[in-house]
């Protein structure tokens, strides 16, 4: 997953290992992500399980989660994760979710701002 603060030139550019036109931090990040994936695949080819090989993967790895909570807990989650102090990628996920919850159950969530 490409963090929102990393600018890329075209979709799929990082995944292909093509860093042409990138300089500085963007180049370093792209190279690190591509190298990590290559090492991961190499470890799988050497017989390591995916759980073992995953140890070389960075924090930029795509993650899927499932969350269940009651309305009180959702309010708490939105207040923490939609605030300006929250991580930018968390806000990128939680703000649209908050907007959808406001549409579905406005009485519970309309007072939460971000």
| Catalytic machinery residues | 81
For 37, how many CA atoms within 13 A lie in the half-sphere containing its CB? Answer: 13
Angle between helices 88-104 and 71-81 (to 10 degrees): 140
Token readout for 106 is 């406005």
Q: How far apart are alpha carbons 42 and 45 in whole angstroms? A: 5
Contacts of 101 (CB under 8 A, 6+ apart): 74, 78, 108, 109
Nearest by Cα to 94 from 111, 81, 112, 110 = 81
């Amino acid at each position: 997953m490409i963090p929102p603060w990393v600018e890329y030139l075209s979709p799929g550019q990082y995944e292909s290992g093509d860093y042409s036109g990138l300089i500085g931090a963007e180049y370093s990040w792209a190279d690190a992500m591509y190298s990590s994936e290559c090492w991961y695949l190499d470890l799988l080819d050497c017989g390591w399980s995916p759980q073992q090989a995953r140890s070389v993967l960075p924090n930029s790895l795509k993650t899927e989660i499932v969350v269940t909570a009651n309305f009180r807990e959702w309010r708490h989650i939105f207040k923490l994760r939609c605030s300006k102090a929250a991580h930018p990628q968390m806000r990128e996920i939680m703000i649209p979710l908050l907007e959808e919850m406001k549409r579905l159950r406005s009485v519970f969530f309309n007072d939460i701002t971000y």
